[in-house]
Structure formats: structure tokens, C-alpha cells
Chain A
Amino acid sequence: MAAPQTILEEILQRRAVWRGGALARPALPAVPSGFAVLDRELPGGGWPGGALTEVLCAREGVGELQLVLPALAALSASGRRIAWLAPPHLPYAPALAAAGVDLAQLAVVRAPGRRDALWAAEQVLRAGACHALLAWLRDARYAELRRLAVAAEAGPALVVLFRPEEAACESSPACLRIALEAAGEHLLARILKRRGALAAAPLRIPIDRPVHALGGASSPAAPARSPAARPCPV
């Protein structure tokens, strides 16, 4: 027989009880991002489960997938399934395998239409059989995202929406929003929104950039762009 204290904690963990005094629900176990710098700043110490996360970047190729790769590798290694919804290009199997992602746990869903993609995202979340959903939704509106956020609450899945930088100006029901910029061999991440207090400084995240990999003509690291302050509401 477990102690009453742990039973109570268990019930609260399951979110079976709503506590009037609580500002935010006790979060589901977070998935560590694999970057200590980032984990320190994320409530729960990692990517939030059962909620939307937005990753915003001006263009593809700054290392946005690298940011979630360690979490994907860890999830897939423990047999959790991962869905890629409407990715803009082919997720390249050799690179994923090299990063330690178990390919057998991946499914890529192609959804040509905007509405189809939203529908598919909701189905994936409601089925509860998937522990991570990476989605590229075009021109998603607030109400549609809100619907997804509700669907996400039904399960444990980590939901990452990749969106263009402009989306930072729109309000969003996502509980975590991160804007990314390349900074030489680092990734500069600004946490625009998170549960709890506002984050102050941008984070320099050491991601694995293959800039010297081939041993060829390497160039000095480009000057890091300063995190341009954008007059956007968060």
C-alpha cells in the first residue's frame, strides 16, 4: 500500500482533479530536450507533453530540427512513436539514423490540403498512440490551433509546430514559443512564451553543425547576428 501522499500526487499527476488555486495544471512529465542550457529554462525541465510548442524561424536550415532531434532520439529509443505531418521536404533517413533516431518508430504523413493537415493533426493527437507530433501547418488560424491544443491535452504527446517567423506577431494558444536564429555554430533561441515567468536573455544552444566536417576549405565563423529586437507582441 502506497503512502497517501504518493497516491495524492499520482492523482494530481494524472490531471484527474482540477485545483482551483493552481494557475497552470501540474504539467505532464516533460521530455528533456537534450540541451542543458535549454532544459534549465523550460518549465518541467524539457519539452512539454500534452501541449503545443511552436518553433519559429525566418528560414529553414538554421538548425531547427536539430533542436528537437535529441528528444526524438530518446523517445524513439524507448519505443515511442513519432509522426511527421506535412513536412516541407523528405526527412532524410540516413541523417536521422545517424542522430540515433529509431526509424521504425517514425511515420511521415503527407497531407496536401491545409484542412486535411489540420484534420490529420487532430486525429493523430486524439488517437493517443503517438508520443511526438512534428507538424508544418500552413496559415493556421488561432481557432484551429486552439482546437489542436485541446486535442493535445488528451494525450502525452509532445507537439511541435514549425512556423515562419512572422507568426510570432500573431497570438497563439501554444504554451511554449521559441524563435530561432543561426549564430555561427550555435543556435540562438529566444523563448517568446513559456509557462511561468518571462525568459530574459536569448540562449546560445550548442547544436551539431557540420561546418568543419569534411575537412575541406573551412572559413572563419560568420559574425553572430545580433538578436534583432522585433516590435512584436508575444
Chain B
Amino acid sequence: MALHLPQLPLEALLRGRALSEARGEPWAVIEGREVLACDAAARALGVRPGMALSAAWALAPRLRARPRDAGLEREALEAIAGWLCRFTPSVSLEPPQGVLAELRGSLRLFGGIGPLAAQLRAGLGEMGFTARLAAAPTARGAWWLALGSSEALLEERAQLERALAVLPVDALGCDPGSLALLADVGVACVGELMRLPRDGVARRFGQALLDALDQALGSAPEARACYRLPERFAARLELPAPVTQAESVLFAARRLLVQLEGFLAARHAGIRRFALRLRHRDARDGVIGIGLAAPAREAEHFTRLLRERLQAITLTEPVEAIALEAAALVPLPGASANLFRDARTEGEEWARLIERLEARLGGGTVQGLAVHPDHRPERASRRIAPLGGTQRAASAGPRPLWLLEPARRLREAGGAPQDGGPLELLAGPERIESGWWDGGEIARDYFIARSADAALLWVYRERGAAGGWYLHGIFA
């Protein structure tokens, strides 16, 4: 399978731009004084690739032109290669604008060439790229088909020969001199080139072209260097127009999160935390760190968590670029997220729910409960991390279902406690004296009391000098 990215110079620069912004200013990428690629807004104004920059400016005075950034393009290409690794281990780069992947072994897993191609297109789209896809039994054959913008998905060698034969020779990517010479001898398509005598072709155009032809047809083997996945994930994205809306940052971040999901799937791993770094022009970088209750890999899930966090903060400074980092990969069983996405257990859903709640409400807002062997009522119940908790022996006396934190001082009238009226003491006292060893000493007499409106309360009288009545619990 070959992926040709004709718009890469532009997309590498603009993929962080949300659709709502895309309708604004026209953009173009230039090389020297010539337009190399331009977006739909520029195209609508008449700007075309190959045009002189001065001519383009005459047509579109608001045109934003940026010189081509080879480094950014290379990064984008590697991002795509890394994402493709989720489908196959053998991916190789075809700089400057192509990626090749060996997918024959993965066809069955992904439901055949057609569905696989659709999945590739969708994924690339989510990352902000458009590609011409072509599949063929040989890598070079597929690449030439993609270059020749024939989006054929071929599985048989015989089909490949016919498809290549009708390709124009300029799809071969050979040097302009050779192309001119081919035109001079009247060769317009690959089929005519194949029919020329081999020794003549080798003499006039070099052995390299002949070898490439053999490789494309599969009669000679081709050795390609495989792309190697890095150990940790780090990706950045420039925002062409600095943004202050959380929604725009999220849009750009999603591009990277999809990339991350591919990377994790390729590594059969998940992560427990990731960080999004927001780069500002005039201020220090902001970092949003997100922790997960259980290792995960789905971009959808990451996006949800990030949305909650982004909504909670206000961006005071415009964001110029974002970077996503994830280290500490955890092995995550399950062959492919796509295959088993639906079969998620209730336990995982529960962990995800807690993450989602904490992402918006704040860390520590979701808690579990545990009993603790301590006679002091306020220490006999503990807040613990959710998803944990063990059952231990319950206490002896009757205990209320609600505990007030802290206990509320009650008024007194004639030595009897009052709470909106006199409290009638029904049962007690239960004396609790404990905690002298750690400074949290208590000495109390607990009673069960009934209020004037028939509620049952747990009250205590402080023993010792201070005295006084307190409401500590409610038998709800």
C-alpha cells in the first residue's frame, strides 16, 4: 500500500487549524518565489500551485504565505508512519511526500483491502492529512500508482502490469532530463517504455530506471528500510493562527491523540498519564497533565478527559503550538483496539467514569469508603481512593448513617440540648474515651436523641471541664 500526500507541505503547517478557522484567511506554502501548495480559500480566489508569489498576492491580497518547512514535513511523515505501524510492522518512508506499508499480512484482520483503505483514509483525515492511496503487489508499483493518482487497489500481479502500462511516464519520478528524452522518443506512458528494448533503455536512461521498472513489476526484489517506532511518544503541532478558545486547542490536540492511539496500538501498550504542553509567545509554557485510573489507549477517551480539563481552565495567553508527550508505556493486552472496542467490561467503564468525573470536578472528588478500627467515631470511617476498600469488622454500638464533619455545637437550655426545640434523649449514654496517645483525645458520652420533629440524632456531651452538647450524626 502506498500513500502519497500531495498536500503535505500545506497540511504539515495547517493541520492544527479547526474547520471554523479554515474559512478565514487564505494560506499558501511557497518555495522560492513560487506557490507550492495552497488551501481551498486561496484556490477559491484563483491562486494555483506553480504560480509566482507576486501573481498570487495580486489575486489574494490577504494571502498568508509561509516558506516550506522541510523539518515539519519530515515530522508529519514520521507521524503517519508511526500511526501506520498499528496495521503492520513493515512501514517505510518515501520522502518527501510518501509512505509505504506492507499490508498483505493484515488484510484478513482488517476485513480486506477496501475496508482497510477506508479505515486508513478516515484515520489520516482525523490526523489532518489527505492521501492518495494505491495498493499493489509490489511496493514500487503501488507508489507509482499513487504518484500517477490512480487510486487503484490491486491484489494481482497481472492487474498491476495493465495498470502500470497506462500510467504517464512522469509518474515514475525520474529526473527532468530523462523525461524530456522520453518525450523526444515519443514515449508517453509506462507501457510504451516497457516495450522498448532493454539494452537501449539501459544505455540511454541508466540501469537505475530499468531496475526500478523490474522492481515495480515484481521481477526483481526491492530492499526497503523499515521505519522504527521511537521508544516514547512526543509530537508537536503548530497552530497557524494563535488561539485562545479551548475548543480550538482541543481540536488540534485531537489530531495528536489519534496519532498517539496508533502509536500505542502498534506497541500493544497503554498509558497511565499524558501531558499536553501549550506554548505561548509571551508567557511560560502551560502544562496540562492527565492521569488515568487504568491504562488506556483510545483517542476518544483521552479527548473526553482533555475536554473536561480544558473547559475548567481559562486561556489567558494565545496558544501558538501544542505538544503531546507520553512516556511510561504499560503493556495492554488485547490484539487490536478496533477489534475489541465493544467488548468492554463494566469494571473498565467504571474506571473511565471515575476519570471523567475527576477530570471535571477535580482530583479526589470521587472517593470510596472504608471502616477503620478506631473507637473515635470521626476516625472510624475513612475516605479512600475509589475502586479499593476492604471490609473490616463493624463497631459495636448503633451508629448513624450520616456523620457530621465537624460535629455541630448545640444550644443548651436547662442542661438539656436543643435543636429547634428540646431534644429527648432516648438511649445512652455510650461512653467513648480514646486517643490520648496521639493527641486526638476524646472523652464523650453519646446519646440517641429525638428532635421535636421526630428525627433521630446522635449527640454527645463533652466530658471534662469544657462540657457542652454536640450533634455528631443523624440516623437517616
Interface residues of B in 371-400 (CB under 8 A from A): 371-372, 377, 380-383, 386, 388-392, 394-395, 397-400
The answer to whether A216 has its CB under 8 Å from any CB of chain B is: yes
Task: Flag the segment in B20-28, B46-54, B149-157, B443-451 that touches A.
Answer: B443-451
CB distance from A3 to the nearest CB of B (A): 29
Complex: A212 Cα to B427 Cα, angstroms:
6
Residue of A nearest to B367 (CB): A108
Q: Name, among A62, A91, A93, A225, the residue most crowded by chain B CB atoms within 10 Å (CB to CB).
A: A93
Q: Which of A60, A109, A123, A130 contacts B402 (CB 8 A)?
A: A60
The answer to whether B350 has its CB under 8 Å from any CB of chain A is: yes
The answer to whether B44 has its CB under 8 Å from any CB of chain A is: no
Contact: A211 with B427, CB < 8 Å?
A: yes
Assuming the contacts A92-B473, A119-B360, A127-B352, asked whether A213 and B369 have C-beta atoms less than 8 A apart, the reply is no
Contact: B394 with A98, CB < 8 Å?
A: yes
Residues of B with C-beta under 8 A to A183? 454
Contact: B425 with A61, CB < 8 Å?
A: no
The answer to whether B353 has its CB under 8 Å from any CB of chain A is: yes
Contact: B456 with A210, CB < 8 Å?
A: yes
Residues of A with C-beta under 8 A to B353? 123-124, 127, 129-130
Complex: A103 Cα to B394 Cα, angstroms:
11
Contact: A92 with B447, CB < 8 Å?
A: no
Q: Which of A59, A65, A182, A214 contacts B398 (CB 8 A)?
A: A214
Q: Which of A93, A120, A181 contacts B369 (CB 8 A)?
A: A93
Complex: A104 Cα to B389 Cα, angstroms:
5
When each residue 66-94 of chain A gets 1 if its CB lies under 8 Å from chain B and 0 otherwise, what string results?
10010000000000010000011111111
Complex: A147 Cα to B305 Cα, angstroms:
22
Contact: A210 with B476, CB < 8 Å?
A: no
The answer to whether A217 has its CB under 8 Å from any CB of chain B is: yes
Q: Name, among B356, B361, B382, the residue most crowded by chain A CB atoms within 10 Å (CB to CB).
A: B361
The answer to whether A145 has its CB under 8 Å from any CB of chain B is: no
Complex: A66 Cα to B447 Cα, angstroms:
19
Q: How many A-B residue pairs have CB under 8 A?
A: 198
Complex: A40 Cα to B352 Cα, angstroms:
38
Q: Which of B429, B455, B475 contacts A59 (CB 8 A)?
A: B455
Complex: A111 Cα to B390 Cα, angstroms:
25
CB distance from A193 to the nearest CB of B (A): 22
Assuming the contacts A61-B455, A107-B366, A130-B353, asked whether A96 and B427 have C-beta atoms less than 8 A apart, the reply is no
- Give the size of the chain B interface in residues (CB under 8 angstroms): 61
CB distance from A75 to the nearest CB of B (A): 13
Contact: A129 with B399, CB < 8 Å?
A: no
Contact: A107 with B368, CB < 8 Å?
A: yes
Assuming the contacts A213-B398, A218-B427, asked whether A108 and B369 have C-beta atoms less than 8 A apart, the reply is yes
Q: Which of B356, B388, B394, B428 contacts A216 (CB 8 A)?
A: B428
Residues of A with C-beta under 8 A to B451? 59, 61
Assuming the contacts A60-B474, A98-B399, asked whether A103 and B456 have C-beta atoms less than 8 A apart, the reply is no
Assuming the contacts A58-B453, A94-B395, asked whether A123 and B356 have C-beta atoms less than 8 A apart, the reply is yes
CB distance from A89 to the nearest CB of B (A): 4
Residues of A with C-beta under 8 A to B234? none
Contact: B349 with A61, CB < 8 Å?
A: no
Interface residues of A in 99-129 (CB under 8 A from B): 99, 102-104, 106-112, 116, 119-120, 123-124, 127-129
Assuming the contacts A89-B402, A94-B371, asked whether A129 and B350 have C-beta atoms less than 8 A apart, the reply is yes
Residues of B with C-beta under 8 A to A120? 357, 360-361
CB distance from B75 to the nearest CB of A (A): 36
Contact: B473 with A107, CB < 8 Å?
A: no
CB distance from B180 to the nearest CB of A (A): 65
Assuming the contacts A119-B360, A209-B456, A214-B448, asked whether A91 and B427 have C-beta atoms less than 8 A apart, the reply is no
Complex: A59 Cα to B392 Cα, angstroms:
31
Residues of A with C-beta under 8 A to B426? 211-212, 216-219
Residue of A nearest to B369 (CB): A93
Interface size class of chain A, counting residues whose CB lies under 8 Å from the partner chain: 35 or more
Residue of A nearest to B424 (CB): A219
When each residue 169-209 of chain A gets 1 if its CB lies under 8 Å from chain B and 0 otherwise, what string results?
00000000000011100000000000000000000000001
Residues of B with C-beta under 8 A to A116? 360-361
CB distance from B341 to the nearest CB of A (A): 15
The answer to whether A36 has its CB under 8 Å from any CB of chain B is: no
Complex: A95 Cα to B425 Cα, angstroms:
20
Contact: A98 with B395, CB < 8 Å?
A: yes
Residue of A nearest to B457 (CB): A61
Complex: A97 Cα to B108 Cα, angstroms:
53
Contact: A129 with B346, CB < 8 Å?
A: yes
Residues of A with C-beta under 8 A to B350? 81, 127, 129-130
Q: Which of B347, B357, B372 contacts A109 (CB 8 A)?
A: B357
Complex: A103 Cα to B360 Cα, angstroms:
25
Complex: A183 Cα to B456 Cα, angstroms:
11
Contact: B399 with A103, CB < 8 Å?
A: no
The answer to whether A222 has its CB under 8 Å from any CB of chain B is: yes
Residue of B nearest to A214 (CB): B427
Assuming the contacts A109-B365, A210-B475, asked whether A95 and B455 have C-beta atoms less than 8 A apart, the reply is no
Q: Which of A97, A108, A219 contacts B391 (CB 8 A)?
A: A97
CB distance from B58 to the nearest CB of A (A): 53
The answer to whether B120 has its CB under 8 Å from any CB of chain A is: no
Contact: B424 with A94, CB < 8 Å?
A: no
Contact: B371 with A103, CB < 8 Å?
A: yes
The answer to whether B430 has its CB under 8 Å from any CB of chain A is: yes
Contact: A61 with B474, CB < 8 Å?
A: yes
The answer to whether B404 has its CB under 8 Å from any CB of chain A is: yes
Residue of B nearest to A184 (CB): B454
The answer to whether B354 has its CB under 8 Å from any CB of chain A is: yes
Contact: A104 with B390, CB < 8 Å?
A: yes
The answer to whether A63 has its CB under 8 Å from any CB of chain B is: yes
Residue of B nearest to A104 (CB): B389
Complex: A92 Cα to B347 Cα, angstroms:
25
Q: Name, among A95, A104, A109, A130, the residue most crowded by chain B CB atoms within 10 Å (CB to CB).
A: A95
- Can you name 19 A-B pairs with beta carbons within 8 Å? A59-B453, A60-B455, A60-B476, A62-B454, A92-B377, A92-B381, A92-B399, A96-B369, A96-B401, A97-B391, A97-B392, A108-B367, A109-B357, A111-B361, A209-B475, A211-B426, A214-B429, A215-B427, A216-B428
| 20 additional A-B residue pairs with CB within 8 Å, beyond A95-B398, A210-B448, A216-B429 | A58-B453, A61-B475, A63-B476, A66-B475, A81-B346, A93-B370, A93-B371, A94-B394, A94-B399, A99-B401, A103-B370, A104-B368, A106-B368, A107-B386, A128-B349, A209-B475, A211-B448, A212-B427, A213-B398, A216-B425
